[in-house]
Amino acid sequence: MPTPKSADAKKPDDCLIVIFGASGDLTKRKLVPALHYLWKNGQAPEKFAILGVSRSKYTDKAYRDEAYDFADKEYESRADFDDFASRLYYEAADSTKSEGWPAIKERICEIQKKHELGANVLFYLSMAPQFFEPIIVQIGSQGMVTEGRKFCTIDTHEPPWQRIVVEKPFGSDPKSAVHLNNVLAQVFDEDEIYRIDHYLGKELVQNLMVLRFANSMFEPIWNHRYVDHVQITASESVGVEGRGSYYDGPAGGSLRDMVQSHLLQVASIVAMEPPITLDASDVRTEKIKVFKALRVPEPEDVPNIAVRGQYGDGSVNHREVTAYREEEGVDPNSQTDTFAAVKFHVDTWRWGNTPFYLRSGKAMAQKKTEIVVYLKPTPHKLFREQARQFRPNQILISVQPNPGIRLRFEGKVPGTGMSIKDVVMDFDYEDQWKVEPPDGYAILLYDCLRGDQTNYKHRDEIESSWDACQPILDYWAENPQDDLPNYNAGTWGPSAADVMMAKDGRYWRND
């Protein structure tokens, strides 16, 4: 399949990309292939180079070999990769300590000179979160961004930039998120900080704004008068698969790992008001309003609005899955949620009391990410005799797999009499565009290289999303649950999540 191209052909500025955590999976599995994709499609800067930094010892050649072997399916051939990788370098150094920096700085200068890159640098933090702060502090104290700061730059006409991309998890609670934001603010201006969320790079998430604001048929019904509720599901069929110590530790379970970050971000785009323009600051202003309007639950409400789950053993797609607590690196008595379902409210005029149900889990029946907007029934029941057959009208945005948008509504069954059945109108992304969606990392890196923060998170979004989740986390920490594990791998999660919905007269879309 051909690859899609942006209509906006403005190339990113020349720059050096310095990736901390280069020996980690994310760099080799996602970042290097994403940069290769941009290069291959003519969307990378004219001149650029990548410097990977980690403590593990590699020569440039050994690192290139490893990066290729790790994701060889992403490259046409070894020769194609080598062509790109002539710009890929590696430095073994401890970037959390000042002792590691003379070598890093020397390497940066050498590569900048060799490739004639100028002073633009994109720093990327792609490692475990405990290293974020010491590296940011080092970037600052080593004077790596001084030239880019507007107040003291030498070239005021077109000052070079230094930007930083920060991966998740961004904090583990409101306090640590505020602290990390403050640490970043000591070194970088807010418009140089790119807090990445790869869900914001997914095609159908990006399409949400287009669906809502480039069409006139959805916006009139996109409110509490017509919408009964919104469901956002991100289920995964895999368990933690060898990453038990990370999931049970820094990732901290499904509510932290998925709901607080990815799903609330998606919800904010579903719930936001139309921005004045598509400028990053206008879009982010509207998103921030949604985050500020998220209802912060009272502790006594938590059992009614949140369900946690943990998977036991079972099988997914005929594959045996080991129970979470038996995974290496997981506490055998762990209370960590591998499933979370939460009913949120966005307290705005538009949404009134319309609930947003968000759920995510590991080792579930299917891998799928979808947003479903359920509409209210018609005000007058004209087809009264058939009423029991009716299903609510749904606007289904399928993010993955099978990206697309589906409208489900009632239709007449052919023939005599008046029989009614729900039918589907389908926009299938791959069928329509005959292209494969690029990976979200490629889309987001392209934005960052061009200085576009629209699809990156502002500090206020992160801090408010933690505020809305923290009472749930506190309640769960104070009230251990003795029925864990409470769902078998390969199912749709604990029955308590269905009960939560049933109490509201609703049900999860599990097909």
Q: Nearest residue by C-beta to ligand BG6?
A: 257
From start to end of 191-345, where are the E strands? 193-195, 227-235, 306-309, 311-316, 319-321, 339-345
Write phi, then psi, for 443 (nearest 5 degrees): -60, -45
Among 192, 257, 370, 461, binds ligand BG6 (CB under 6 A): 257
Is the CB of 386 or the CB of 400 nearer to ligand BG6?
400
Please report how close the Cβ of residue 37 comes to ligand BG6 at its closest, in angstroms: 16
Are residues 161 and 148 in contact, defined by beta-carbon separation less than 8 angstroms? yes
Chain positions 180 to 199 lying near ligand BG6, rule: CB under 6 A, are 198
Please report how close the Cβ of residue 369 comes to ligand BG6 at its closest, in angstroms: 6
Is the CB of 246 or the CB of 409 nearer to ligand BG6?
246
Please report how close the Cβ of residue 363 comes to ligand BG6 at its closest, in angstroms: 11
Chain positions 333 to 392 lying near ligand BG6, rule: CB under 6 A, are 369
Does 251 participate in binding ligand BG6 (rule CB under 6 A)?
Answer: yes
Is the CB of 246 or the CB of 390 nearer to ligand BG6?
246
Q: Which residues pair with 230 in a beta bridge?
A: 356, 373
Among 74, 203, 236, 461, binds ligand BG6 (CB under 6 A): 236
- Helix (H) / strand (E) element for 493: namely none
Comparing CA positions, the residue from 127, 117, 58 lying closest to residue 90 is 58
Chain positions 31 to 90 lying near ligand BG6, rule: CB under 6 A, are none
Please report how close the Cβ of residue 195 comes to ligand BG6 at its closest, in angstroms: 13
- For residues 508 and 229, give the distance between their C-alpha atoms in angstroms, rounded to a whole number: 11
Comparing CA positions, the residue from 342, 337, 369, 364 lying closest to residue 355 is 342
Interface pattern 155-174 for ligand BG6 (x via CB under 6 A): -------------x------
What amino acid positions are annotated as catalytic residues? 262
Please report how close the Cβ of residue 168 comes to ligand BG6 at its closest, in angstroms: 6
Comparing CA positions, the residue from 74, 170, 162, 152 lying closest to residue 112 is 162
Please report how close the Cβ of residue 434 comes to ligand BG6 at its closest, in angstroms: 23
Are residues 343 and 357 in contact, defined by beta-carbon separation less than 8 angstroms? yes
Pairing, β 368-375 against β 227-235: antiparallel
Is the CB of 96 or the CB of 338 nearer to ligand BG6?
338
DSSP readout, 444-482? HHHHHHTT--TTSB-HHHHHHHHHHHHHHHHHHHHS--T
Half-sphere exposure of 23 (CA within 13 A, CB side): 13
Is the CB of 31 or the CB of 293 nearer to ligand BG6?
31
- Helix (H) / strand (E) element for 366: namely none
Is the CB of 228 or the CB of 257 nearer to ligand BG6?
257
The footprint of ligand BG6 (CB under 6 A) covers: 168, 198, 236, 251, 257, 369
